[in-house]
Structure 1
Amino acid sequence: MTVSVHVSQAAQATVEQLVPGLVDDLVASRVTAADNDLWGPDASAEASVRLGWVDAVSNSRPLVAEIVSLRDDLRARGIDRIVLAGMGGSSLAPEVIANTAGVPLTILDSTAPAQVLRGIDEGLARTALVVSSKSGSTIETDSQRRAFEAAFSDLGIDPAERIVVVTDPGSPLEESAREAGYRVFTADPNVGGRYSALTAFGLVPAGLAGADIAELLDEAEASMLQFAVDSTENPALRLAAAIVGTEPRRDKLALISDGTHIEGLPDWIEQLIAESTGKAGTGILPVVLLPVSPEVESAPADLQIVRLVDDADEFHLRHHGEILVSGTLGAQFLLWEYATAIAGRLLGINPFDQPDVEAAKTAARGLLDARPEATTAAFVESGIEVRASDPALLRSGTLAGVLDALWERLGTDGYVAIHAYVDRNDMPQLSGLREMVAADSGRPTTFGWGPRFLHSTGQYHKGGPAQGVFLQITERTDVDLEIPGRPFTFGQLIEAQAAGDAAVLSGLGRPVVTLTITDAVDDVLALFEAAQ
């Protein structure tokens, strides 16, 4: 057994109730056979071009030798630092693979100017850039590529010697990249970004960084029969039923790494599940937690805990009611892809589209074109500028009071989403705010670095249940960086992305508080104090 799903209590009852029906309907074998009718007539057309991931292992085998050959060539030329420009699944899967393998891979999935500058400045002479985008139209990735091209040229380096492109065949990016002389890897176009872990999007950057991608594919291949067979012991069927079918419904899914060798898998699972299921007013909200998070110490009734472990037998006696998942990384990628697709069938939604993602992008583009004057802060406390979508949230005139007012908007099934549009290398401690807000609000709390989260949980925030309240954190900084060929800078871009997302959320009736930090050290401390 390369992967195991252990259930107990309510999750076990749900598995016993739902899995036999999935077996009778031949769901596992039909997913493996790429049966696009599994999700109903409305989803059939989309599913027909989104099920290539079931064949990713065999389709990706020929890439391994090419990737290893390129890695050896780069290293022979003294190029041993790999930077990845990609968003969503294009960056999260390689990040997990590289971290688990213990190899260095610099992930650039931000438009914060200082973060982009750091990606460029830290060893550019020995750097190769991997640009990953299905179409190449992703504004963050396109902007990062432009900045690196200019930086390489300024250093007297031909960008064609240092830039590697991963994209869909026939995409505008493939055409422009080949014209520029860049090395191009194409992936199966019938695989959506969030299901692309075992395609070129996951393998190229991680492999160039030094991960053993052949072993990763071996791990996945060894698990395939488990997921394809129509059996009540199929771990993917069991996991899908356990995460969506409990009565009463638990629509918040806590993801905890606890004693596992796999590094960062919850962040990848988060984008896969949130973007796949958060639509049509329903969905599953993934909440990435620590083993000691407040939601674990006192679990809300609508929260199901999933604990990622290396040995389920070691944990199950101490964690009744939780779902325990163990397995190799390659097997886990396939497990969660199968389970998420099957969960979509159980929820009655299309797990392959993302109908609400474009709204924030459109709003950001509009703000970049119009470039309106920034709104005046309602008040400033300890250097933190405070704004809110609803003036009623500001009545207290204090930062702590505003946060309390935001928590008061939470229903019994609500959640808090923290969105930090800052240089996370400069303010890594900000992620600790999640623990304090969860304790203070008493509800499940998510944390996302902006604009990265827009390509994952952003879909759920807008298309899922209207349960969330939103805390935006932005920064005011003198650091900025031009984007060659664009009439806006990285600083203006990230500001527009934050404002655009807030506008869309507010337009949907979701309350938003925006806090702008002007001093990274003092203001973060003041924010922590207010959230206690």
Structure 2
Amino acid sequence: MSGYDVLTRGDVLHAALQARDYLVGCGVPGALAGKDPRLWGRRAVDHSRLGWLDLPAASRGLLEQIDGLVAETRYSGLDHIVLIGVGAEALAAQAIMEGRPAGAAAPAGELTVLDGADTAALDLALERLDRTLVVLSSKAGVSLEGDAYRRIFTAAFREHGLSEREIAGRFLVVTDHGSPLHDFARQCGYRVGLTDPYLPGHFGALSAYGLVPALLAGADVHRLLDEAEALLPSLARAEDNPGLLLGAILGGCAQQGGGGAARDKVVLREAGRGSALTDWIAQLLAVGTGKRGRGVLPFAPPGVPQELPDVHGIAINPGAAAPAEADTSLWAPLGAQFLLWEYATAVTGWLLGVNPFEAGGTSVQEAEDDAATLLRDAAGGPLDEGRPAFVDGGIEVHADLGQPVGGDLAAVLAGLLDRVPGTGYLSVVSYLSGEFSGRYLAPALARGAHRPVCYGAGPGYLHATGPVHKDGPGTGAFLVVTGDAPDGGAGDRPVPGRPYGLARLQLARGLAEVRALRERGLPVVRLHLRDPAGGVGRLAEVVRSVSLSMSSPSARP
């Protein structure tokens, strides 16, 4: 695919055309093409924050700089790249690895992403130490997960017989010039790839954060830059500008008034079960627009099994016929997709009156700091989880719904669904190692709540989309699922030099997120599965029962 197009229809078309005419009348396309920061106020945005528009050309120099490293890794047989990163830094590289065109050869290497979500992936990565290069990617310092995984790999390389110098050679750090991680990497003797500290991380798919891990794993990133560069001329135009139209669709729908519901929720539809590209788009929209009580909320199709007046669907690269549920269809190759969505997010932020280039507020870092405090205060002992309201079938129920809760899990879940506002949503966040995902619960919960449901595995999910949940419209209700560590495997693997293992770290992350959500006055229920394998089945059974009892509109108060 070499072309690109955006088509829309119905009420979405009407809102989009109004917004596009307003954008053109205010000179937004020309100002963006000229990287004029005054679009967001005289002092709100620095000129360099718009450097993502230059990446299709500027990143070619980056590729030339790391040619030697790529040749060295190929010669050394290091074709398994382990990427340690949370949020945007990890999702872009994943999307690049998944997004090769139909018929293209598979990458020569392999990419494994460790973001603290499914710790079971670590076992598979450690089986390939002879072939493994570890990339630690972050715009700031080392996250709790990054520190844990780095320590585990360092110890594993040492046990494998590598010298300290050889171990240092197995790590590459991608970070901003002058960041805390930059200084740390130099002290450890790691190789370092530096990026522009002014470049917003969520706008960095075509920077070193997205390109370097994928290139080392054998992806054709030169083609990716060609696709993005081919889109650039159209983004400077007022007419036939797909980025402007997509931004007008997102922003126009989110602020729609005049008797029509604000359609600030978007379902991203892609062939198959979705991909890292839709996850990357979701974090871009969440971080770029989720602030000052505003924001566009992204959802996956399983969480929206019925039509809702405040939701519109976008089909990404549909076949000959777009899905019936899609209000908008978008066609573009992967490199153009990255640039197209970044441009559209900038336009959407302008329409909503927010600065899209700010990183999320302090909520993400506060939650990580709180998790670190929980681990430190525990000093190797049990974490302070609080007493459950009750235990039902091996599931501890920790509920804070502003009303008394009985001793019945079904009643608590029904109460949580009742707390979802008429314009709100439910978010399911899991902190369990293995295959469990909120995806399995989302359709039934959505039918019971008559509202959309988003889901993901923590901490990566809330790290990526946390800003829109915590600093956006504030209409979410949350179901957080934690669990005891499974016997054996990576789930309870100790972290060398720390008084905790991965399971305790994952639980601390879940507890910190629950506290952060409650501090913002959001309804939260935490379910802790004493036996995760059996508890998942029990939870799914209760969710189905609650959904059936609430599926009729007459069953809702």
**Cα distance in 2, alignment partners of residues 320 and 141 from structure 1:** 39
**Cα distance in 2, alignment partners of residues 219 and 482 from structure 1:** 44
Q: 2:251 touches 2:349 (CA, 8 Å); kept in 1?
A: no
**Cα distance in 1, alignment partners of residues 199 and 384 from structure 2:** 41
Aligned pair 1:380/2:385, yes or no? Answer: no
By how many angstroms is 1:185 displaced?
1.3
Aligned pair 1:73/2:83, yes or no? Answer: no
SS of the aligned residue for 1:28 comes to helix
The match for 2:146 is 141
Q: 1:474 touches 1:517 (CA, 8 Å); kept in 2?
A: yes
**Cα distance in 2, alignment partners of residues 430 and 124 from structure 1:** 32
Residue correspondence of structure 1 range 58-69 to structure 2 within 5 A: 58-69=57-68
The match for 2:30 is 29
Q: 2:428 touches 2:438 (CA, 8 Å); kept in 1?
A: no
**Cα distance in 2, alignment partners of residues 338 and 194 from structure 1:** 12
**Cα distance in 2, alignment partners of residues 413 and 271 from structure 1:** 21
Aligned pair 1:199/2:207, yes or no? Answer: yes
Q: 1:7 touches 1:323 (CA, 8 Å); kept in 2?
A: yes
SS of the aligned residue for 1:331 comes to helix
Residue correspondence of structure 1 range 124-273 to structure 2 within 5 A: 124-157=129-162, 158-229=166-237, 231-246=238-253, 247=256, 248=260, 249-258=262-271, 263-273=275-285
Q: Give the TM-score of the pair, scaled to structure 2.
A: 0.88
Structure 1 residue corresponding to 2:297, chosen from 277, 285, 293: 285
SS of the aligned residue for 1:470 comes to strand
Residue correspondence of structure 1 range 468-483 to structure 2 within 5 A: 468-477=476-485, 478=487, 479-483=491-495
State the one-letter code of the partner of 2:69: L
The match for 2:99 is 100
Q: 2:270 touches 2:315 (CA, 8 Å); kept in 1?
A: yes
**Cα distance in 2, alignment partners of residues 412 and 263 from structure 1:** 29
By how many angstroms is 1:49 displaced?
4.2
**Cα distance in 2, alignment partners of residues 193 and 119 from structure 1:** 28
SS of the aligned residue for 1:152 comes to helix
Provide closer, same or farther for how the CA distance between residues 429 and 513 of structure 1 changes in structure 2, counting only shifts above 3 A. closer
| Partner deviation per Cα, 1:429-472 (whole Å, 9 max, x = no partner) | 55322222222222110011100012211111110112111000
**Cα distance in 1, alignment partners of residues 522 and 172 from structure 2:** 40
Q: 2:251 touches 2:347 (CA, 8 Å); kept in 1?
A: no
The match for 2:321 is 315
The match for 2:443 is 435
Residue correspondence of structure 1 range 316-465 to structure 2 within 5 A: 319=324, 322-353=327-358, 354-355=360-361, 356-371=363-378, 373-390=384-401, 392=403, 394-395=405-406, 397-423=407-433, 426-428=434-436, 430-465=438-473
Q: Give the TM-score of the pair, scaled to structure 1.
A: 0.91
By how many angstroms is 1:273 displaced?
0.3
SS of the aligned residue for 1:51 comes to helix
State the one-letter code of the partner of 2:396: E
State the one-letter code of the partner of 1:506: R
Provide closer, same or farther for how the CA distance between residues 29 and 144 of structure 1 changes in structure 2, counting only shifts above 3 A. farther
State the one-letter code of the partner of 1:245: G
**Cα distance in 2, alignment partners of residues 434 and 294 from structure 1:** 5
State the one-letter code of the partner of 2:423: D
Further displaced range: 28-37 or 332-341: 28-37
Structure 1 residue runs of 5 or longer lacking an equivalent are none
RMSD over equivalenced CA pairs, Å: 2.2
**Cα distance in 1, alignment partners of residues 40 and 124 from structure 2:** 42
By how many angstroms is 1:499 displaced?
0.9
**Cα distance in 2, alignment partners of residues 408 and 73 from structure 1:** 58
Further displaced range: 326-335 or 480-489: 480-489
Q: 2:318 touches 2:329 (CA, 8 Å); kept in 1?
A: no
**Cα distance in 1, alignment partners of residues 371 and 186 from structure 2:** 30
Q: 2:484 touches 2:532 (CA, 8 Å); kept in 1?
A: no
State the one-letter code of the partner of 1:286: P
Aligned pair 1:20/2:21, yes or no? Answer: yes
State the one-letter code of the partner of 2:524: V
SS of the aligned residue for 1:473 comes to strand
**Cα distance in 2, alignment partners of residues 12 and 460 from structure 1:** 25
**Cα distance in 1, alignment partners of residues 236 and 37 from structure 2:** 15
**Cα distance in 2, alignment partners of residues 263 and 67 from structure 1:** 28
Aligned pair 1:528/2:534, yes or no? Answer: no
By how many angstroms is 1:14 displaced?
1.6
Aligned pair 1:274/2:292, yes or no? Answer: no
State the one-letter code of the partner of 1:94: A
Q: How high is the sequence identity, in percent, across the aligned residues?
A: 39
**Cα distance in 2, alignment partners of residues 190 and 466 from structure 1:** 29
Q: 2:303 touches 2:442 (CA, 8 Å); kept in 1?
A: no
The match for 2:555 is none
By how many angstroms is 1:274 displaced?
0.7
Further displaced range: 191-200 or 62-71: 62-71
State the one-letter code of the partner of 2:114: L
Structure 2 residue runs of 5 or longer lacking an equivalent are 101-105, 545-557
**Cα distance in 1, alignment partners of residues 71 and 206 from structure 2:** 21
| Partner deviation per Cα, 1:196-249 (whole Å, 9 max, x = no partner) | 1000000111111110011111111111111122x1321111111111213321
| Partner deviation per Cα, 1:282-304 (whole Å, 9 max, x = no partner) | 11111122xxx4625x2111101
SS of the aligned residue for 2:455 comes to strand
User: Size of the alignment, in residue pairs?
Assistant: 517
Provide closer, same or farther for how the CA distance between residues 368 and 272 of structure 1 changes in structure 2, counting only shifts above 3 A. same
The match for 1:51 is 50
**Cα distance in 1, alignment partners of residues 3 and 52 from structure 2:** 19
By how many angstroms is 1:413 displaced?
0.4
SS of the aligned residue for 1:454 comes to helix
| Partner deviation per Cα, 1:13-33 (whole Å, 9 max, x = no partner) | 122212122123221232232
